[in-house]
Amino acid sequence: MSTYRTLKVPASEITPRSIWLRRRALLATGVGATSLLLAPSLAFAMPLKAAKSMYTVPDKLTPKGDVTSYNNFYEFGIEKSDPSEYSGDFKPLPWTIKVDGMVGKPRTFDFGQIMTAFPPEERIYRMRCVEAWSMVIPWDGFPLSALLHKVEPLGSAKFVAFQGVVRPSEMPGQRGLFQSLAWPYVEGLRLDEALHPLTILAVGLYGETLPNQNGAPIRLVVPWKYGFKGIKSIVRITLTDQQPPTTWNVTAPDEYGFYANVNPHVPHPRWSQATERRIGSGGFFSSDRRPTLMFNGYGDEVAHLYAGMDLKRYF
Amino acid sequence: MRSMAKLTVRRWGSKLVWLLYVAGLAPAIYNFYLGATGSLGADPVKTFELFLGLWAVRFLILTLAVSPLREIVGVNLIRYRRALGLLCFYYALMHFLTYLVLDQHLMLSAVLADVTKRPFIMLGAAAFVLLIPLALTSNAFSIRQLGKGWVRIHRLIYIIALCGAIHFALATKVLSGEQYLYLTIIALLLASRLVRSYLKRARGTASRSAAGPRPNVGAVGRAATS
């Protein structure tokens, strides 16, 4: 069991209340307008009630249209536009998640049970993709620790393994001759990472249930790690004492590590991770390249998890 | 009838070459307009950069296809080869400039680190740099001046194709169907050169052993086929 530490929020990250309130007003009109425009691709997006939370960053939000049209979700195809274009056949409901392995009370959660047992809160997180681009996304979700506590992890459990859905009939990237990855998509965290208060299971974004292309109906969000750790459309969570295999690490072990912490000092073999393009800044001439922050700017909260570790080796 | 048709082709041929330049550059111009006005999606710079690289590969393939098309299929597009090769160069140039200016914001230290440390970028840079002498000598004057040397310089296209193909393969996290297709075509086009030179050598040895040494057939014949 990891020790719980109170989150330290730097003064610079606290948004003044006046701006906070204006932001909500702005959002309300913005969401209304964009959801109308995007109606076909967001067929499953339903309004969601989410409490505000203290976990937020002061960065400008990435427009919803970009968050829902620029996705890596290889189950639907490898182009960024594939998930929004080819996820129409996917049926996120009904849905169950099996939680098993080294736990005292293994059980299968129905999505409805999850929504009532774990009321979502809004978390505005930075999202840094390993491909050197980033977004700022208002997720609606709940701490993974809340769900894990319900199943009572055994003292011997050291890791948490996640498994994505396999539905070739609904996911074009899972059928045909050229399949990009081995299915199911799998991911993993150390137990202390999984129990960290920043680690959430997201069920929505921008105040609506998750669109298919963003990992409906439930996905992982770990804001200090590269985006590929955030496994989408999760069907199973297993506690184990072995470091579980993770899809990208298995696919290219020298390019993607198990930890995959955002780290500007450890380049990808094919590109630098020192800077990133912030998505959603308009055309060519307003393109925004900015320095990448250690642990994606969440160092104050998570650096202690890796004290004494050589992060160049455990990248 | 045949000579009439030939005459027409000759008359319209040069106009068709110009049309090829216009049509060939149109996708870049249109996409630049989209990107500049904010209608090229969420990540316009990356999209444009990949788009230009993809078209450079397409024109590389078309350039390399001219000789085998003539020798194997009997379709002669040799008069368009210079335009196709130059279009490949123009797209490579725009691809590089997009990377340098729009993507990296002229951060020369980052670009230098990329070029010197990462084989992926190194190969792309090599392909681009090697294209420059080819582009500079793609004119009648250079062909006259350089003679046999021109042919030798332009054999660099095989090294460019190899570097470019590997760079293209490394550009994405996993290969797409389209990438597999283009890489296969490039491999076949390069292999056709190896087969051709092997056959030529085999034929050469056969005729030499039958009739003794013969005068060289001439550089012109080779120049046209390389």
Q: Is A313 part of a structural domain of the chain? A: no
Q: How far is B114 from chain A (nearest CA, A)?
A: 7
Domains in chain A, number: 1
Interhelix angle B156-170/B119-136, nearest 10 degrees:
150
What residue in B sits closest to A63 (Cα-Cα)?
Answer: B42
Q: Above 90 in pLDDT, residue A236?
A: yes
CB contact under 8 A, A272 and B110: yes
CB contact under 8 A, A74 and B42: no
What residue in A sits closest to B102 (Cα-Cα)?
Answer: A284
| pLDDT mean across residues, chain B | 88
Q: For B76, what's the count of Cα atoms within 13 Å in the CB-facing half-sphere? A: 7
Q: Which long-range contacts (CB under 8 A, 24 or more apart) does A169-173 make?
A: A169/A89, A170/A89, A170/A90, A170/A91, A171/A75, A171/A76, A171/A87, A171/A89, A171/A90, A172/A76, A172/A77, A172/A82, A172/A86, A173/A73, A173/A74, A173/A75, A173/A76, A173/A77, A173/A78, A173/A82, A173/A86
What pLDDT sits at residue A9? 60
Q: How far is B190 from chain A (nearest CA, A)?
A: 24
Q: Is A6 part of a structural domain of the chain? A: no
What pLDDT sits at residue A282? 80
Three-state secondary structure of B175-192: CCHHHHHHHHHHHHHHHH
What residue in A sits closest to B121 (Cα-Cα)?
Answer: A270
Q: Above 80 in pLDDT, residue A6?
A: no
Residue of A70, A79, A180 with shortest CB distance to B42: A70
Q: Is A24 part of a structural domain of the chain? A: yes
What residue in B sits closest to A274 (Cα-Cα)?
Answer: B110
Residue of A69, A277, A280 with shortest CB distance to B46: A277
Residue A260, H or E segment: none
Residue of A272, A285, A287 with shortest CB distance to B113: A272
CB contact under 8 A, A284 and B121: no
**Beta strand pairing call for A288-291 and A159-164:** unpaired
CB contact under 8 A, A284 and B43: no
Q: Above 50 in pLDDT, residue B103?
A: yes
What pLDDT sits at residue B9? 61
CB contact under 8 A, A279 and B120: no
Which chain B residues are within 8 Å of A279, Cβ to Cβ?
42-43
For residue range A126-183, list pLDDT tens digits in order.
999 999 999 999 999 999 999 999 999 999 999 999 999 999 999 999 998 878 899 9
Q: Is B218 part of a structural domain of the chain? A: no
CB contact under 8 A, B176 and A181: no
Between chain A and chain B, the number of residue pairs with CB atoms below 8 A apart is 83
Nearest partner of B43 among A289, A232, A5, judged by Cα: A289
Q: What is the CATH number of the domain that holds A215?
A: 3.90.420.10
Q: Write down the pTM of the prediction.
A: 0.83
Q: Above 50 in pLDDT, residue A31?
A: no
Q: Is A27 part of a structural domain of the chain? A: yes
Which chain B residues are within 8 Å of A253, Cβ to Cβ?
none
Q: Is A165 part of a structural domain of the chain? A: yes
What residue in B sits closest to A182 (Cα-Cα)?
Answer: B174
CB contact under 8 A, B110 and A280: no
**Domain carrying residue B100:** 2-207
pLDDT tier, B213 (very low <50, low <70, confident <90, very high otherwise): very low
Interhelix angle B156-170/B44-68, nearest 10 degrees:
140
Which chain A residues are within 8 Å of B41, Cβ to Cβ?
69-70, 80-81
Q: Is A4 part of a structural domain of the chain? A: no
CB contact under 8 A, A274 and B46: no
For residue range B80-90, list pLDDT tens digits in order.
999 999 999 99
Q: Is B217 part of a structural domain of the chain? A: no
Higher pLDDT, A24 or A230: A230
Q: Is B6 part of a structural domain of the chain? A: yes
Domains in chain B, number: 1
| Gap between the Cα atoms of A222 and A126, Å rounded | 10
Which chain A residues are within 8 Å of B35, Cβ to Cβ?
283-284
Q: Is A2 part of a structural domain of the chain? A: no
For residue range A102-133, list pLDDT tens digits in order.
999 999 999 999 999 999 999 999 999 999 99
Q: How far is B213 from chain A (nearest CA, A)?
A: 52
Q: Is B112 part of a structural domain of the chain? A: yes
Higher pLDDT, B159 or B113: B159
Query: Could you give the 3-state DSSP secondary structure of residue A225?
Result: strand
Residue A270 tokens read as 């094919």
End-to-end CA distance of chain B: 32
**Domain carrying residue A175:** 11-306
CB contact under 8 A, A267 and B174: no
CB contact under 8 A, A69 and B41: yes
